């Protein structure tokens, strides 16, 4: 598919990837964003959650390398951390105790959102047909129900409006996208939407790791839906660049983590295991805690009505509970779907490509919503197929994963969006392990599984 001019609305992570993909198919590509894009290292106002902990799971890292070969190795050279899963460089606790740590094929990349975006945005310099319009709002689309022909933008300083015509417009303006309204204004019906709201609030604070301790494993303390005696709460301590830890605590109705310094620490200490709080006692705080009320899991069905000349990518199409860290990965997978779709598409194939973008988010949607529906405070229509048997099987898998490496590896493949749940769970070794259940010879770990070397580092820090 070739075109004269392409227009990308939104210059964040998804928009940058879209622009790079389009640069191979269009004579010119214009990126419009409400923020200034010349200061890539600064947290942008258009991404209010940008300072919080972000991860790129291995399914997303592999997708990103498909689009930008060598980009993950470059991130590691800049200080991003490769954290192997299920446990080589991460210690995870769930309701039944701590998972044993062993080498696995999956991983997550730990770094700040600013470093990730700046590193990806550097690749824009490889394409001299990409231009930028900063500090501008998108106020609507042009065209009619048969085709989108461009967009109307307004300069934030002068308030003047102008129309930019394009053969293809991609909306990547994020969770605040007004694309459903824009399409209605063109005469199209309202976009169908699915909403599952876990009512999550989370708070993040960064710390300078003590000398010698930055290579300690990440700590992940998961919420336990089987515990009805406490409000849902979870915590993640993630090593990122520059010897820094990014620590995020999350909770739901009746149990929001406080944004005050003392309350933040007390919340961490009150998790099922106090490990994160104990490590924070050894570290130097970098600034104050800051909170964010997460949007719901929200999926808009543009794949059912998107007109030719228009596509929606990233958070503008689907958002997820941030606890699972899938937003960046879904954006990267969506950009791969865009690339592949443009390579084989006819000029009017927007709906086919939008369907492929929707399929790229399906596994993340199913994982996030099925997990969130295990908690009673989650709002939304519960699937009729979700019965007690399915929930008990899921809980059995969780318990068995602590003593059955085959199940743990399968769960990590699903969590990192590296394979579909059906493919991961239908393997004979996984099915056999699930039938056997937890290994009675392997006792649950009540203490974090630090190695002797790591315990020595902790002793020196104290």
Query: Which tens digit of pLDDT belongs to each residue from 163-212?
Result: 999 999 999 999 999 999 999 999 999 999 999 999 999 999 999 999 98
| Strand partners for 237 | 219, 247
Per residue in 334-358, pLDDT (tens digit) is 999 999 999 987 656 789 999 999 9
Q: What percent of the chain has pLDDT over 70?
A: 93
Confidence of residue 329 (pLDDT cuts 50, 70, 90): very high
Cβ neighbors of 160 (< 8 A, separation 6 or more) are: 154
> Taking the mean position of all CA atoms in its chain, how far away is CA 283?
26
Mapping DSSP onto H, E and C, the string for 103-133 reads: CCCEEEEECCHHHHHHHHHHHHHHCCCEEEE
Cα 246 to Cα 43, 79, 111, 276, distances in angstroms: 15, 14, 9, 11
State which H helix or E strand residue 302 sits in: none
Per residue in 15-49, pLDDT (tens digit) is 999 999 999 999 999 999 998 766 554 555 556 56
**Is 142:183 a contact under the CB 8 Å cutoff?**
no
Residue among 330, 236, 456 nearest 14 (CA): 330
Q: Report the chain's mean pLDDT, rounded to a whole number.
A: 91
The whole-angstrom separation of Cα 298 and Cα 295 is 8
**Domains defined for the chain, CATH in brackets:** 3-47+117-195+296-368 (3.50.50.60), 201-293 (3.30.70)
Phi and psi dihedrals of 67, rounded to 5?
-80, -40
The whole-angstrom separation of Cα 126 and Cα 349 is 27
Tokens of residue 460, six digits = 């020196």
Give the residue, 132 or 40, on which the prediction is more confident: 132
**Is 97:115 a contact under the CB 8 Å cutoff?**
no
Is pTM beyond 0.85? Reply is yes
């Amino acid at each position: 598919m070739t075109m004269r001019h392409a227009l990308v609305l939104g210059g964040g992570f998804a928009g940058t990837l879209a622009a790079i993909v389009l640069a191979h198919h269009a004579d010119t590509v214009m990126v419009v964003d409400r923020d200034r894009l010349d200061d890539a290292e600064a947290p942008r106002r258009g991404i209010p959650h940008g300072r919080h902990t972000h991860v790129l799971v291995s399914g997303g890292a592999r997708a990103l390398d498909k689009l930008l070969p060598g980009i993950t190795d470059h991130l590691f050279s800049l200080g991003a951390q490769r954290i192997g899963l299920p446990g080589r460089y991460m210690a995870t606790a769930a309701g039944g105790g701590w998972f044993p740590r062993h080498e696995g094929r999956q991983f997550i990349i730990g770094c700040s959102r600013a470093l990730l975006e700046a590193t990806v945005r550097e690749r824009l310099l490889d394409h001299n047909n990409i231009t930028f319009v900063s500090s501008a709002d998108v106020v609507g689309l042009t065209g009619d129900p048969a085709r989108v022909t461009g967009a109307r933008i307004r300069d934030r300083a002068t308030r003047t409006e102008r129309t930019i015509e394009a053969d293809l417009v991609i909306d990547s303006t994020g969770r605040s996208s007004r694309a459903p309204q824009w399409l209605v204004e063109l005469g199209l019906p309202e976009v169908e939407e699915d909403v599952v709201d876990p009512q999550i609030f989370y708070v993040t604070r960064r710390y300078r790791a003590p000398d010698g301790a930055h290579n300690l494993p990440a700590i992940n303390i998961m919420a336990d839906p089987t515990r009805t005696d406490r409000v849902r709460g979870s915590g993640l301590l993630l090593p990122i660049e520059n010897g820094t830890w990014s620590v995020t605590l999350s909770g739901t109705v009746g149990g929001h983590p406080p944004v005050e310094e003392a309350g933040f620490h007390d919340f961490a200490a009150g998790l099922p295991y106090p490990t994160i709080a104990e490590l924070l006692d050894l570290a130097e705080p970098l600034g104050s805690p800051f909170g964010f009320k997460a949007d719901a899991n929200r999926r808009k069905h543009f794949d059912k009505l998107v007109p030719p000349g228009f596509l929606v990518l990233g958070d503008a199409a689907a958002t997820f509970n941030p606890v699972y860290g899938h937003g960046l990965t879904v954006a990267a997978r969506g950009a791969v779907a865009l690339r592949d779709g443009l390579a084989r598409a006819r000029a009017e194939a927007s709906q086919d490509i939008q369907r492929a973008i929707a399929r790229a988010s399906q596994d993340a949607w199913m994982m996030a919503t099925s997990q969130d529906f295990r908690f009673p405070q989650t709002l939304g229509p519960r699937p009729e197929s979700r019965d007690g048997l399915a929930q008990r099987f899921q809980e059995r898998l969780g318990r068995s994963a602590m003593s059955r490496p085959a199940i743990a590896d399968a769960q990590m493949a699903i969590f990192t969006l590296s394979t579909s749940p059906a493919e991961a769970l239908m393997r004979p070794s996984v099915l056999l392990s699930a039938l056997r259940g937890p290994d009675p010879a392997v006792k649950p770990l009540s203490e974090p599984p630090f190695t002797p070397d790591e315990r020595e580092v902790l002793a020196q820090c104290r």
